[in-house]
Structure 1
Amino acid sequence: MVSHSELRKLFCSADAVCFDVDSTVIREEGIDELAKFCGVEDAVSEMTRRAMGGAVPFKAALTERLALIQPSREQVQRLIAEHPPHLTPGIRELVSRLQERNVQVFLISGGFRSIVEHVASKLNIPSTNVFANRLKFYFNGEYAGFDEMQPTAESGGKGKVIKLLKDKFQFKKIVMIGDGATDMEACPPADVFIGFGGNVIRQQVKDNAEWYITDFVELLGELEE
């Protein structure tokens, strides 16, 4: 068990910080918002809860939910334009502070790249630092599935992305921050996991994370000391 002061030191000396997106960087769950927009909210919310609890393999849950939503390209674009995701309070300042310290910031999400890239642009995170699932559409814009080759389409995908980042960039210390079980499972290979409960508290994460926060101000405070 690592002491809290050691965890704080690791966070302050990290050369890369990876954030989950849904219910962490943004207040919403992207897939639930898409389901609501497409009129199938209740059924999909229940599936999301089961997937978050680890009851269903991630890819199976994603396939099942998307088969129900069947989002067209136009619907995804309209969702972003008409109901853009809301940034979690404090995230803009935290990302900005990390970037000032020359820390690489990545977004790793089981959500959809088109939505996550929109979020990244609001935080001045380059799209090359975004790892998320790609929706596929037929030439007429109708839903055609998702790219199953993306690491984020699999259970354990976030850990695979972090390993890839370590191999590619030789990062010494990577911190993963997120609200869900899939974020916690990414440590290791991440060196530190910080559970985030500012939008939704997932009991399994709260009980098992060595460091659990409900406000990004706490991390900003660590960087200011």
Structure 2
Amino acid sequence: MTSSIEQCKQIWCNADTVCFDVDSTLIKDEGLDELAEFCGVGKQVKEWTNKAMGGSMRFRTALEKRLEIIQPTIDQITQFRETQAIRFSDGLEELVELLHERGTKVYLVSGGFRSLIEPAAKLLDIPFNNIYANRLKFFYNGDYAGFDVREPTSDSGGKKLVAEKLKQTCENLVFIGDGATDLEAYPPADLFIGYGGNVVRETVKQKAPWYITDFQDLIQILQDSS
């Protein structure tokens, strides 16, 4: 594990693979909370989100509880995608573009759902194959039928499993996120950068080897190293 900010910065500059959490990191919002609001059950779902992101309960339990409340249909997912604007975190688009220019592989690793994440990945030119996220299941009539529990990110410790897989083919793996499930990826990730630009989770702030609230900090370091 890293022990100083200078060591963190060195790993960051040498990263060949960078993983971003999506909700409250890549984008300003929590996607499932926004979907719940769209479906008219926002308040009930947000309470479970805070429990999941704060690390006070098993992630899969919180995911199940939230989806039981929302019960999203295929039609609702489609309408949500068509009507909701994607709000990227400040500086995120510039940072991803800079990483691409440097030849750094960018992955999105999320406890959210592919159907909500793919539009953002498309705007950022991130291949869909570079998304690790959950999949919703539906009945033939389009009603909600659960989610695929085989996806590693559907449970606590899942992001660590993704990091282990990616680490097999890269030298310096950096994971950036705001929540407790993101922190679990370090190690095997060589560096974890806690992000508090949208929401500050005290557990993450205290345990992250490097904590930032502005992506411009990361951009500036890469530009200075060029």
The question of a shared fold, defined as TM-score above 0.5 by the shorter chain, is answered with yes
- Segments of structure 2 that go 5 or more residues without pairing to the other structure are none
Between the aligned partners of 1:117 and 1:189, the Cα distance in structure 2 is 26
Q: Which residue in 2 is equivalent to 1:223?
A: 222
Counterpart contact for 2:164–2:188, Cα < 8 Å: yes
| AA of the residue aligned to 1:178 | G
Q: Which moved more, 1:104-113 or 1:83-92?
A: 83-92
Q: How many residues are paired up? A: 223
How far does residue 84 in structure 1 lie from its aligned partner after superposition?
2.7
Q: Which residue in 2 is equivalent to 1:205?
A: 204
Q: Which residue in 2 is equivalent to 1:157?
A: 158
Task: After TM superposition, list the pairs within 5 Å mapping 1:27-42 onto structure 2.
Answer: 27-42=28-43
Q: Which residue in 2 is equivalent to 1:179?
A: 178
Partner SS state of residue 24, structure 2: helix
How far does residue 64 in structure 1 lie from its aligned partner after superposition?
1.1
How far does residue 85 in structure 1 lie from its aligned partner after superposition?
2.5
Between the aligned partners of 1:48 and 1:32, the Cα distance in structure 2 is 7
- Correspondence 1:192 to 2:155: no
Task: After TM superposition, list the pairs within 5 Å mapping 1:108-147 onto structure 2.
Answer: 108-147=109-148
Between the aligned partners of 1:158 and 1:63, the Cα distance in structure 2 is 18
Between the aligned partners of 2:84 and 2:99, the Cα distance in structure 1 is 28
How far does residue 105 in structure 1 lie from its aligned partner after superposition?
0.2
> Over residues 95-118 of structure 1, what are the superposed CA-to-partner deviations in whole Å (9 max), with x where a residue is unaligned?
010111110000000001011111
Q: Which residue in 2 is equivalent to 1:85?
A: 86
| AA of the residue aligned to 2:37 | K
| AA of the residue aligned to 1:74 | D
How far does residue 184 in structure 1 lie from its aligned partner after superposition?
1.0
Between the aligned partners of 1:198 and 1:217, the Cα distance in structure 2 is 11
Q: Percent identity?
A: 52
Counterpart contact for 2:167–2:189, Cα < 8 Å: no
Let me know the Cα RMSD of the aligned residues: 0.9
Between the aligned partners of 2:46 and 2:155, the Cα distance in structure 1 is 19
Between the aligned partners of 2:70 and 2:85, the Cα distance in structure 1 is 18
Between the aligned partners of 2:54 and 2:9, the Cα distance in structure 1 is 28
